[in-house]
Amino acid sequence: MLNRALSYIGIFFLYAISLLPLPVLYLFATFLYWQLYYIFGYRKAIVRTNLLNSFPEKSEKEILSIEKRYYKYLAALIFEVIKMATISKAELRKRFKFKNLSTINDYLEKGTSVLVCSAHYGNWEWGTLAIGLNLKGENYPIYKPLSNKVFDKWFFDIRSRFGNHMISMKQTYRALTETKDTPTVFCFGSDQAPPKNESHYWLNFLNQPTSIQMGVEKIAIKTNRPIVYIKVSVVKKGYYEVDCVPLITAPQKTNGHEITDIHARFLEQIIQEDPAYWLWSHKRWKHRP
């Protein structure tokens, strides 16, 4: 009961903070960066290990530079996520722009459903909100529920503000069945480490053995829905540009693991181009073959 009450108090303060303009929140983010990096060293050992293993060719100076840029971005990202509770449609459209959303909308207008791949790169939470604003069909982002039920409902509500139909990972197949006659977009975050007991596939990703979820490939082959990758680029602080890149147009014509290989290699290339915006503090390599 006490934890529930504290959760509601926490949400009240987060909502109050979200009412502040983003320039003020970015000032708070600068302070938070110093706390996370220099005072508490939040998951610094995990981040450093992940970077060293992923980029063995880089010097210590280069690794340190990426590490600091990552923590600066992480601090800003935390306040951007808080801002989701009150950000307006106009401001979100201004800050999160799509270059060629017609890649997806053309399919939807023809009555063809689409699968979307993305990752924890850039502000994926704003991406979830923004894509729901711009699609001509129903959008179903797949998410992993939080263990705290109060915060889980709060995040569910703010992620759904602009028309998204949030679906928990365990309800994915049910939702696909219920919407099979409607043009839809199901969105997958394809870079999470799958549990040991789930179907996965091992490949060499960022210079180390990595388990990759097979959910996108299984659903794509079963439904033959085309796959589009949402490539997020950070233009400057608080501004993003999204490229909708067609990955596979006919999944049922692919060979085994080809789909998983393609979207994993695409993400790997994005990370290598600018590493600072991926979620390095996540325990991505906690399982080994």
pLDDT (tens digit per residue) in 17-54? 999 999 999 999 999 999 999 999 999 999 999 999 99
Whether 288 maps to a domain, the answer reads no
Whether 283 maps to a domain, the answer reads no
Return the pLDDT at 2.
73
Tens digits of residue pLDDT in 215-255? 899 999 999 999 999 999 999 999 999 999 999 999 999 99
Whether 34 maps to a domain, the answer reads yes
Q: Which residue has the tokens 């490539």?
A: 231
Q: How many domains are contained in the chain?
A: 1
Whether 287 maps to a domain, the answer reads no
Tens digits of residue pLDDT in 101-150? 999 999 999 999 999 999 999 999 999 899 888 888 899 999 989 899 99
More confident residue, 234 or 201: 234
Whether 203 maps to a domain, the answer reads yes
Return the pLDDT at 276.
97
Return the pLDDT at 3.
85
Residues 6+ apart with CB under 8 A from 268: 205, 206
Whether 106 maps to a domain, the answer reads yes
Look up the pTM and report it.
0.93
Question: Residue 171's domain spans which residues?
Answer: 2-277
- What one-letter code names the amino acid at 161? R
Rg of the chain in Å (alpha carbons): 19
**How far is residue 53's CA from residue 190's CA, in Å, rounded to a whole number?**
20
**How far is residue 63's CA from residue 165's CA, in Å, rounded to a whole number?**
39
Check pLDDT > 80 for residue 193: no
Residues 6+ apart with CB under 8 A from 278: 70, 119, 120, 121, 271
Annotate the chain with DSSP letters as a single string: -HHHHHHHHHHHHHHHHHTS-HHHHHHHHHHHHHIIIIIS-TTHHHHHHHHHHH-TTS-HHHHHHHHHHHHHHHHHHHHHHHHTTT--HHHHHHHEEES-THHHHHHHHTT--EEEEE-SBS-HHHHHHHHHHH-SSEEEEEE---SSHHHHHHHHHHHTTTS---EEGGGHHHHHHHTTTS-EEEEEETTSPPPTTS-EEEEEETTEEEEEE-HHHHHHHHH---EEEEEEEEEETTEEEEEEEEEES-GGGSPTTHHHHHHHHHHHHHHHH-GGGB-TTS-TT----
Q: What percent of the chain has pLDDT over 90?
A: 82
Return the pLDDT at 256.
85
Spatial contact of 234 and 277, defined as CB atoms under 8 Å apart: yes
Whether 284 maps to a domain, the answer reads no
**How far is residue 59's CA from residue 75's CA, in Å, rounded to a whole number?**
25
* DSSP bridge partners of 227: 115, 248
Whether 282 maps to a domain, the answer reads no
Check pLDDT > 90 for residue 68: yes
Return the pLDDT at 199.
57
Query: Which of 53-67, 197-211, 252-266 is predicted least confidently?
Result: 197-211
